[in-house]
């Protein structure tokens, strides 16, 4: 809930307009926890590298009311707030979506004729966008010049991106078309954002029109422009047209990157043309682009999906020979498909290898390993991976917890089943009624007299 900046605070702040050259008087009351540790402040003529006490204390505040109170306290003790103070406070208020307080601080900035940087308004426009306040973002962009701030194409592109992300594509295009009236010239970023918006709506014709307009205005397309178009065509199973765009890049002397080739390779793999995709990867270097992780990842994923994991492992060895260091994504591809094929010990060895090579597993790695061990009925090993996962501050999915609890109870390991449930409780995770129902019904149906259902009841009561 947003809180208003009190009128007393505003009165106190606006009544001071000059730097204090003498040390302020000591406050009569003891500062609160959010107030500065010292009660006096140096004159505001600071050297560039000196720490600003207000900013140091502001970083430690959490609530917007606390931040505003701190701002007021420093003002009363004689500290003269300048642009860094105002902007830092505004960033904190905007992050908490207290836009009413933001507007009042902006009013103070305007009242004091403090010149604002464009980056401040760009950040505020983005925050309004995240809050789905498109009209506020537009209004702020229009009012920027009233804060003695020069508008450039960077702030316009920020607004265009916010409009596209909030499904205001036509309004975004209107701003691009009217940029000249604001003394601005749209650049490749402006058009790339619009192209992205049309492609997200699966409007190829609209994206192509923007691309053509880009060329008419003599704005040079970038590799990002072509990657957006090529990626869409490959996802739409039109690899032939995507290849023609690659040739168009060469004509325009725009060098494709590893992402460009990765998109084409993925499109070929989706059409069952693995060999052609592999050939394209080795042709990359002739076009001046060295294969990267994304290219090997595309080939390894396709091999894994088709059960050819050993061939994928050969590609991993090839990467190492070419001195391309595998990342967690590459290792996860192998772990995922090895677990899917029931080759969990091999997946575990891959996990050990990646750690020995200095590559840290992520949440997906651990989840796949826990699920893999559960799938083959090795619940003790699954529990061991779970402990390692928790130590790394990652968490399994509720479905993984269900599977693990189910297996531990079936194996008579009630203590560990209780441990898993306790972990869920600490993380505020819940099975949900459906998952509990499936667990109970499954144990009841498959219970052969071994007392699984009674064991579950004991775990729940514990």
The pLDDT value given to residue 96: 85
Residue 430 within a domain: yes
Residue 136 within a domain: no
pLDDT at 301 over 60: yes
Residue 207 within a domain: no
DSSP 222-290: -HHHHHHHHHHHHHTT-HHHHHHHHHHHHHTT----HHHHHHHHHHHHHTT-HHHHHHHHHHGGGGT--
pLDDT at 189 over 80: yes
For 460, the domain range is 397-462
Q: For residues 360 and 171, what is the distance between their CA atoms, to the nearest angstrom?
A: 44
> Where does the pLDDT of residue 445 fall: very low under 50, low under 70, confident under 90, or very high at 90 and above?
low
Residue 124 within a domain: no
pLDDT at 305 over 50: yes
Contact 460, 436 (CB under 8 A): no
> Where does the pLDDT of residue 56 fall: very low under 50, low under 70, confident under 90, or very high at 90 and above?
confident
User: How far apart, in Å, are the Cα atoms of 152 and each of 113, 144, 184?
Assistant: 20, 11, 7
Residue 443 within a domain: yes
The pLDDT value given to residue 85: 79
The whole-number average pLDDT for the span 43-53 is 53
Sign of CA dihedral 68, 70, 73, 77: negative
Give the closest residue to 344 by CA, choosing from 383, 370, 373: 373
Residue 102 within a domain: no
Based on the structure, what is the number of domains in the chain?
A: 1
Better pLDDT: 255 or 108 = 255
**What three-state secondary structure class fits 15?**
coil
The pLDDT value given to residue 448: 53
Give the closest residue to 71 by CA, choosing from 50, 83, 60, 57: 57
Q: For residues 52 and 55, what is the distance between their CA atoms, to the nearest angstrom?
A: 6
The pLDDT value given to residue 94: 86
Residue 458 within a domain: yes
Q: For the segment 396-433, what is each residue's pLDDT rounded down to a tens digit?
A: 887 788 788 878 877 777 788 788 877 777 777 666 65
Give the closest residue to 357 by CA, choosing from 320, 386, 388: 320
The pLDDT value given to residue 164: 96
pLDDT at 288 over 90: no
The whole-number average pLDDT for the span 375-403 is 87
> Where does the pLDDT of residue 4 fall: very low under 50, low under 70, confident under 90, or very high at 90 and above?
very low
Extract the tokens encoding 235. 């996802």
Q: For residues 328 and 392, what is the distance between their CA atoms, to the nearest angstrom?
A: 15
Q: For residues 363 and 360, what is the distance between their CA atoms, to the nearest angstrom?
A: 10
Better pLDDT: 1 or 144 = 144
The pLDDT value given to residue 437: 60
The pLDDT value given to residue 47: 47
Most confident of 10-14, 32-36, 233-237: 233-237
Residue 454 within a domain: yes
User: How far apart, in Å, are the Cα atoms of 229 and each of 89, 156, 269, 271, 285?
Assistant: 41, 23, 18, 18, 22
Contact 86, 112 (CB under 8 A): no
Whole-structure pTM over 0.85, yes or no? Answer: no
């Amino acid at each position: 809930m947003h809180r208003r900046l009190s009128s007393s605070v505003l009165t106190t702040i606006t009544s001071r307009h000059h730097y204090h050259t003498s040390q302020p008087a000591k406050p009569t009351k003891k500062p609160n926890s959010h107030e500065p540790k010292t009660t006096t402040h140096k004159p505001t003529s600071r050297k560039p590298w000196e720490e600003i006490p207000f900013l140091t204390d502001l970083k430690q505040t959490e609530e917007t009311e606390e931040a505003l109170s701190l701002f007021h306290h420093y003002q009363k003790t004689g500290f003269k707030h300048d642009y860094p103070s105002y902007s830092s406070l505004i960033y904190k208020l905007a992050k908490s979506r207290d836009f009413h307080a933001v507007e009042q601080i902006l009013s103070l900035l305007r009242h004091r004729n403090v010149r604002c940087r464009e980056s401040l308004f760009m950040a505020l426009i983005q925050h309004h966008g995240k809050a789905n306040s498109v009209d506020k973002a537009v209004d702020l962009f229009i009012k920027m010049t009233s804060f003695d701030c020069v508008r450039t194409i960077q702030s316009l592109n920020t607004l265009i991106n916010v409009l596209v992300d909030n499904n205001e594509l036509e309004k975004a295009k209107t701003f691009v078309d009217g940029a000249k009236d604001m003394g601005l010239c749209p650049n490749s970023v402006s058009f790339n954002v619009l192209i992205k918006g049309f492609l997200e709506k699966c409007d190829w014709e609209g994206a192509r029109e923007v691309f053509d307009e880009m060329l008419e205005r003599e704005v040079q397309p970038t590799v990002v422009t072509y990657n957006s178009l090529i990626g869409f065509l490959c996802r739409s199973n039109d690899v032939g047209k995507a290849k023609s765009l690659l040739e168009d890049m060469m004509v325009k002397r725009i060098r494709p990157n590893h992402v460009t080739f990765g998109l084409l390779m993925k499109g070929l793999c989706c059409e069952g043309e693995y060999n052609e995709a592999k050939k394209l990867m080795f042709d990359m270097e002739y076009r001046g682009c060295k294969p990267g992780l994304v290219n090997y990842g595309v080939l390894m994923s396709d091999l894994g999906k088709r059960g050819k994991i050993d061939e994928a492992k050969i590609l991993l060895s090839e990467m190492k020979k070419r001195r391309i260091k595998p990342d967690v994504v590459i290792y996860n591809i192998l772990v995922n498909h090895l677990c899917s094929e029931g080759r969990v010990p091999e997946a575990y060895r891959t996990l050990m290898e990646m750690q020995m090579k200095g590559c840290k597993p992520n949440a997906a790695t651990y989840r796949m390993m826990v699920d893999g061990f559960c799938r083959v009925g090795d619940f003790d090993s699954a529990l061991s991976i779970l402990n390692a996962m928790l130590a790394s501050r990652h968490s399994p999915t509720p479905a993984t917890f269900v599977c693990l609890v189910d297996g531990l109870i079936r194996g008579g390991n009630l203590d560990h089943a209780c441990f898993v449930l306790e972990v869920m409780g600490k993380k505020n995770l819940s099975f949900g009624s459906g998952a509990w129902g499936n667990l109970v019904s499954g144990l009841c149906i498959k219970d052969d007299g071994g007392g699984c259902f009674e064991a579950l009841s004991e775990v729940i009561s514990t």
